[in-house]
Amino acid sequence: MDTTHLKNIRRDLHLIPELGFHEIKTQQYLLDRINEIKSERVEVQTWKTGILVRINGTEPKKTIGYRADIDGLPITEQTGYSFQSTHQGRMHACGHDFHMTIALGTMQYFIENPITDHLLFIFQPAEEGPGGALPMLQSEEFQKWKPDVIFALHIAPELPVGTVSSKEGTLFANTSELFLDFKGLGGHAAYPHLTHDMTVAASSFVVQLQQIVSRAIDPLESAVVTIGKMESGFVQNAIAETARLEGTIRTLDPNTIETVKDRLDKLIKGFETSYDCSISIDYGSNYYQVYNKKEYVDLFERTVNQEGIQFKRANTAMTGEDFGYFLKEIPGFMFWLGVDSEYGLHHASLNPKEDALEVGVKAATRMIDVLAK
């Protein structure tokens, strides 16, 4: 698949971003492209809005898996592209249009250049939420073709085109969403003693929340608890009856995130008594850490260096990726692909350089070739 064709596919996909488990147009577009290049050696299964494509090997001893996520984000695009999103309030602001295009390019290469082992290309929905990896992993369709080794990539805006990056061990953190709803008793601002003010309760809760990390977590462990959104009240002269906090928990150890949640539960009980209110908690989507096997990272480094692609050792990031669920059961790794964007991931103006598409296909195909030997 030449560079122009890769760019055209990426731009087609960039036009139609869809949210998790609603990737209807995206799935159909991918199926259309797959049907254009498939051969008698190719089998296709759909799972919800995702797709599994197996290329049967000539003398298979194992199955090599490659995963691409397919959903977009609820972000209004501000790139100024001529191929800007046609779905209002939706954007491929995390590079999944790149991920899908690279997977298609890699797939075509191996349809045209057969190898001995089976290949499984996984087009996974709902990575951004509510989380598609775990249910897809557990599905009958996936288990039927479950790979023996698996890998994936994620674009890295801060790295130059021609560079890839990874590391052994934890690459991405364990993460959990956090939603808290406070319910008290509203009333007139002139009579606070007759109310249970949820603006005050929620504000105090945010402050106390920060002490979980500083006082309940081992200083040698890493943890982040962030409240990114707070809502309460409707008018300036009334006591707020309700309040809502939205945030995230991130840790490098899966046990630490459970410690944080246990402390949160205890904190809630205390606040319900102290502020005479009720508090409900929802942990939303939870993602398991992305943990890379050293042997595969080392092999990848040697492989890409031989192809003239620069390898850089990555740092552990507190970002989340549900590919971690695949790696929990199947050995493998994830790597960063440099795309040299002046804007970061989840930014409305993210503008990755399309020359990175060819680099991604080259890195993926060469790694699969080596894994099949």
253-309 tens-digit pLDDT: 999 999 999 999 999 999 999 999 999 999 999 999 999 999 999 999 999 999 999
Calculate what percentage of the chain has a pLDDT beyond 70. 100
Average pLDDT over residues 335-349: 98
Report the distance separating Cα 129 and Cα 351, nearest Å.
Answer: 22
Domain boundaries 174-286, CATH class: alpha beta
Average pLDDT over residues 102-131: 97
- Using alpha carbons, list the distances in angstroms from residue 371 to 205, 244, 272, 328: 51, 49, 55, 19
Q: Kindly indicate whether the domain formed by 3-170+290-371 is annotated with CATH number 3.30.565.10.
A: no
Average pLDDT over residues 67-83: 98
Q: How confident is the model at residue 1 (pLDDT cuts 50, 70, 90)?
A: confident
Give the single-character DSSP code of 342: S
What are the boundaries of each domain within the chain? Answer: 3-170+290-371, 174-286
Q: Are 19 and 40 in contact (CB under 8 A)?
A: no
pTM, rounded to two decimals: 0.94
The pLDDT, as a whole number, for residue 69 is: 98
Handedness of CA 156, 159, 160, 165 (dihedral sign): negative
Catalytic machinery residues: 69, 128
The pLDDT, as a whole number, for residue 117 is: 98
Fold match flag (3-170+290-371 vs 174-286) = no
| Cβ-based neighbours of 18, under 8 Å, separated by 6 or more | 24, 25, 26, 71, 72, 87, 90
Report the distance separating Cα 301 and Cα 111, nearest Å.
Answer: 25
Average pLDDT over residues 244-249: 98
Instruction: Give the mean pLDDT of the chain.
Output: 97
Calculate what percentage of the chain has a pLDDT beyond 90. 99
Report the distance separating Cα 250 and Cα 288, nearest Å.
Answer: 10
Average pLDDT over residues 150-157: 98
